[in-house]
Amino acid sequence: MSAGAELKPLSLRREGDGLAIDWSDGVSTFVAWRTLRTNCPCASCNEKRQKPADPFKLVSEKEVAAGAPEPVRMSPRGRYAYQIVWNDGHDTGIFTLEQLRQLSTPRTN
Amino acid sequence: MQPGSAPIPALQGVRYLVAVASGKGGVGKSTVAANLALALQMHGQRVGLMDADIYGPSIPMMMGLGHVDPQTTAFPVEKYGLKLMSLGFLPDAGKGVLLRGPMVAKWVATFLTQINWGDLDYLLIDMPPGTGDAQLTLCQTAPLTGAVIVTTPQDVSLIDAVKALNMFRQLKTPVLGVIENMSYFVGDDGKRYEIFRHGGGLKLAAETGVPFLGNIPIDPRVAECGDAGEPIIRHHPETPVAQAYLTLAGALMHRAAKAMPGGLPEVQL
């Protein structure tokens, strides 16, 4: 089965510093929280990624306090996506199932 | 609510959540939703009807209701045995609705999550036309059982119906079927007149691999009954239109029963 319309996650759970997913096609994948945070699909993060990196960017106190990216909450959105609320307060990223599959890597047991 | 769906307390007692949608306005979506809701009830189902057309709510008029006092009225409002919710019940809504997208989304989410729908077999959602904020909010907030697409036979309606169909597919919401409204007219001479042509809905269903649920003929009494506040299926249950709705409701029940359970699993954090 490809990452098409029928593909669904059967279970999702935190494992260490990332998210383990068992998919309906029998594949198990893992994606680090940092990978998800870096690839947040929301409009403002998309726009930031299209700009050249700012070498003089000051890290905010909130970002420093948050430390490594961690989800505070991750909730289903209808039948097609999950929304993550991050420990830095960012909460507008809605990850479609296809994006979760693309960003994660299959595990070999 | 079906197993595996997201836990929205207000919808816990709802078995099937079905959007009645179209790409194009003016295809009779609200009329179909109102009559279909009553047809399902005539099949012995417990039915609610949520009017998600925030800019142009028409369910109150079609059901013979007007504004109510929100301070003293319990929502949903009940009429003809249906549980109903619409922005048209609120007196301020009559002043003209000038709302940006986020406010539309807020109202749709409020109707879904803040109204105590109770135990229902079907909650039909009369969608506004298009593929915008209301549709997206609905598909993000609630694990729909599926959507039915209403179209009229002509190409200009079918083009937008395809857009609506593709939107639901993109959001992984099953399309339960296509309904062709204003399909034909039977004159006093007994002849069948295909005023807006015929067969567009069937063609759309075949081309997109979606079930075709049925045709609804044109009858001037449909509009008269809607304006008078009693849908034709109640006022003239003997008419071919009313019979078509009963058949349609049976087809929808069949499709809904076969639909995959909605919702995604919760994340164990």
Give the model's pLDDT for residue B101.
72
Is residue B233 a part of any domain in this protein? yes
Bigger pLDDT: B3 or A28? A28
The pLDDT of residue B132 is: 76
Question: Which of B141, B171, B265 is closest, CB to CB, to A80?
Answer: B171
- Cα A70 to Cα A62: distance, rounded to the nearest angstrom: 13
pLDDT of residue B93: 63
**pLDDT greater at residue B245 or residue B4:** B245
Q: Testing the interface with A: which of B144, B169, B172, B176 to mutate, by most A Cβ within 10 A?
A: B172
Residue B162 belongs to a domain: yes
* Separation CA B253–CA B46 (nearest Å): 12
Residue B177 lies in a domain: yes
Distance separating alpha carbons of residues A5 and B221, to the nearest angstrom: 42
Contacts B141 to A, Cβ<8 Å: 77-78
Assembly ipTM: 0.85
**Does the CB of B6 have a partner CB in chain A at under 8 Å?**
yes
Task: Write out chain A residues lying below 8 Å of B172, CB-based.
Answer: 5, 78-80, 97
Give me the CATH number covering residue B127. 3.40.50.300
In the predicted structure, residue B209 carries a pLDDT above the cut 60: yes
Kindly state the helix (H) or strand (E) to which residue B133 belongs, with its residue range. helix B133-141
Closest CA–CA distance from residue B209 to any residue of chain A (Å): 14
CATH node for A9-106: 3.30.2020.30
Nearest to B265 among A11, A78, A81 (CB): A11
B203: which residues sit within 8 A by CB, 6+ positions away? B158
| Closest residue of chain B to A8, computed from CA coordinates | B264
- Say if B97 falls within a structural domain: yes
For residues B149 and A64, the model is more confident at B149
What number is the average pLDDT over the span A27-53? 93
CA of A48, closest CA in chain B: separation in Å? 23
Mean pLDDT (chain A) is: 89
Residue type at A83? Q
Report d(CA B256, CA A8) in Å as an integer. 20
Q: Which residues of A touch B173 (CB under 8 A)?
A: 78-80
**B88 within some domain:** yes
In the prediction, which pLDDT does A1 show?
45
The CA distance from B11 to B15, in Å, is: 8
Beta carbons of B172 and A13 less than 8 Å apart: no
**Mean confidence (pLDDT) of chain B:** 89
Chain B residues near residue A36 by CB distance under 8 angstroms: none
pLDDT at B234: 95
Judged by CB atoms closer than 8 Å, whether chains meet at B139 and A79 is answered as yes
Structural domain contains residue B1: no
The answer for B 115-144 residues in CB contact with A (under 8 A) is: 139-144
Q: Which of B140, B262, B269 sits opposite A77 (nearest CB)?
A: B140
Q: 0.90 cut: is pTM over it? A: no
pLDDT at A4: 44
Region of B183 (left: φ > 0; alpha: ψ -120 to 50; beta: rest) is: alpha
Residue in chain A closest to B173 (alpha carbons) equals: A79
The whole-angstrom separation of Cα A95 and Cα B131 is 20
**For residue A32, what are the CA distances in angstroms to A13, A53, A82, B156, B208?**
12, 22, 15, 47, 38
Looking at chain B, the whole-number percentage of residues with pLDDT higher than 70 is 95
Task: Decide if B267 is inside a domain.
Answer: no
Give chain B's domain count. 1
- From the list B83, B135, B10, the residue with the least C-alpha distance to A78 is B135
Annotated domain spans of chain A: 9-106
Q: From the CA of B23, how many Å to the nearest CA of chain A? A: 20
B90 lies in some domain: yes
Determine the residue of chain B that is closest to A73 in CA distance.
Answer: B269
B118-132 per-position pLDDT tens digit:
999 999 999 988 777
Which residues form the domain of B214?
9-258
Distance from CA of B227 to the nearest CA of A (A): 35
